[in-house]
């Protein structure tokens, strides 16, 4: 297994001198990792994946597979397996002939081909489907054929471009775990593109969150959720309250901040220095807030709306001009009532970028 290095890789479409890069990144995908490029539509995920595949040439930077610089290597010589959103299968060929395609191109002999095709189909749960025609399969099965075709060549690098977006919700959830299992069993380094944050969180070892042409954060799903680097990440991943606050004082790995009239202790990144009086932003997840009696409350506000969700309810509460979402067991409050909110100790997070680039000011 090999790592993939993207060294200042950047793409600018268009010839104008003032054209700005669509995307610029500097990151390493570790050997054997399931790594996801996540971001809203148009952020440059596909562009980045196509540069790694060799379909689009970078304007700047270098791409290395292990020790080998592949920046100028044509796609078919990069040794990649690729899975596309629309499957890209040959509809008139059998399942086995579709999977055989890459092996034939590489001159693999018939006997060896048969063994490898059987193994690949078994890996994706389609043993005994070899003779079926593609148009006799469901969408989920077709995508598994595409996955078998990608892994049968035993690629060092497996690239997947929104492979689940044509499947319905239930099938998407089943197939995502299967893709991850197949990738781990095939022992390849995988890069996966999606705009769906729950898919990214469920499948990935690490995620790069892309927006405005850059990686806002490259991290594990847990840390991206609990310790978002920027306000964009906090809002894009799950439901979060990004609330303006003022630093009262710094503690070892925490800070006391003022939100409205109240003081709250929030965690902070140890490398991010903060000074009393500094304006910042904090991320408070809805599940870190509770409705409590006014006397015990860290924050006070007025309920602006209430949404019943079954086992829980989601309240929107106006706290000193910021509307925050609160996940609570279903309780008897009405819009317009005043409530007190408790903040679970140290669940809040001081957003690092808001303390370093003045975004909180």
Which stretches of the chain bind ligand ADP, using CB under 6 A?
13, 22, 39, 41-47
Q: Which C-beta is closer to ligand ADP: that of 23 or that of 126?
A: 23
Determine contact, residues 2/156, Cβ cutoff 8 Å. Answer: yes
Determine contact, residues 288/299, Cβ cutoff 8 Å. Answer: no
Q: Which C-beta is closer to ligand ADP: that of 42 or that of 358?
A: 42
Residues 6+ apart with CB under 8 A from 138: none
Give me the least distance between CB of 218 and ligand ADP, in Å please.
Answer: 16
Q: Which C-beta is closer to ligand ADP: that of 29 or that of 282?
A: 29
Q: Which C-beta is closer to ligand ADP: that of 43 or that of 243?
A: 43
Q: Which C-beta is closer to ligand ADP: that of 26 or that of 154?
A: 26
Give me the least distance between CB of 84 and ligand ADP, in Å please.
Answer: 12
d(CA 116, CA 108): 10
d(CA 194, CA 189): 17
E strands, 112-253, are 157-161, 189-194, 206-211, 214-219, 241-251
d(CA 42, CA 44): 6
d(CA 300, CA 291): 10
Q: Which C-beta is closer to ligand ADP: that of 45 or that of 123?
A: 45
Longest dimension (CA), the chain: 78
Q: Which residue carries 């991850």 as its tokens? A: 180
| Cα-based angle 228, 245, 295 (whole degrees, multiple of 5) | 110
Give me the least distance between CB of 193 and ligand ADP, in Å please.
Answer: 7
Give me the least distance between CB of 197 and ligand ADP, in Å please.
Answer: 13
Helix, strand, coil fractions of the chain, as percent rounded to 5: 30, 35, 40
Give me the least distance between CB of 142 and ligand ADP, in Å please.
Answer: 22
Q: Which C-beta is closer to ligand ADP: that of 17 or that of 275?
A: 17
Give me the least distance between CB of 42 and ligand ADP, in Å please.
Answer: 4
Question: Cα dihedral sign for 3, 99, 109, 112?
Answer: positive
Give me the least distance between CB of 15 and ligand ADP, in Å please.
Answer: 11
d(CA 219, CA 229): 10
């Amino acid at each position: 297994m090999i790592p993939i290095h993207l060294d200042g890789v950047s793409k600018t479409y268009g010839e104008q001198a003032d054209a700005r890069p669509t995307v610029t990144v500097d990151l390493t995908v570790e050997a054997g990792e399931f790594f996801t490029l996540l971001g809203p539509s148009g952020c440059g995920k596909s562009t980045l994946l196509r540069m790694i595949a060799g379909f689009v040439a970078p304007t700047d930077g270098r791409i290395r597979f292990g020790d080998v610089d592949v920046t100028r290597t044509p796609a078919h010589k990069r040794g990649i397996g690729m899975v596309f959103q629309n499957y890209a299968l040959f509809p008139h060929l059998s399942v086995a002939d579709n999977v055989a395609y890459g092996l034939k191109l590489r001159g693999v002999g018939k006997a060896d081909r048969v063994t490898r095709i059987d193994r690949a189909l078994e890996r994706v749960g389609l043993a005994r489907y070899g003779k079926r025609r593609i148009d006799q399969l469901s969408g989920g099965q077709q995508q598994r054929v595409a996955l078998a075709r990608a892994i049968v060549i035993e690629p060092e690098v497996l690239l997947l471009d929104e492979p689940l977006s044509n499947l319905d919700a239930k099938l998407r959830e089943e197939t995502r775990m299967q893709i991850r299992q197949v990738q781990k069993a095939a022992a390849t380094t995988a890069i996966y593109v999606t705009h769906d944050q729950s898919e990214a969180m469920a499948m990935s070892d690490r995620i790069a969150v892309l927006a405005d042409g850059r990686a806002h954060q490259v991290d594990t799903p847990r840390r991206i959720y609990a310790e978002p680097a920027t306000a964009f990440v906090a809002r894009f991943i799950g439901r979060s309250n990004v609330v303006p606050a003022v630093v009262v004082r710094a503690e070892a790995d925490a800070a006391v901040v003022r939100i409205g009239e109240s003081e709250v202790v929030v965690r902070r990144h140890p490398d991010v220095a903060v000074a009393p009086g500094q304006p910042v932003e904090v991320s408070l997840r809805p599940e870190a807030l509770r409705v409590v009696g006014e006397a015990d409350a860290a924050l006070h506000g007025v309920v602006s709306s209430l949404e019943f969700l079954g086992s829980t309810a989601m309240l929107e509460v106006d706290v000193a001009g910021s509307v925050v979402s609160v996940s609570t067991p279903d309780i008897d409050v009405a819009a317009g009532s005043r409530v007190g909110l408790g903040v679970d100790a140290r669940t809040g997070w001081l957003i690092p970028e808001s303390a370093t680039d003045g975004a909180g000011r």
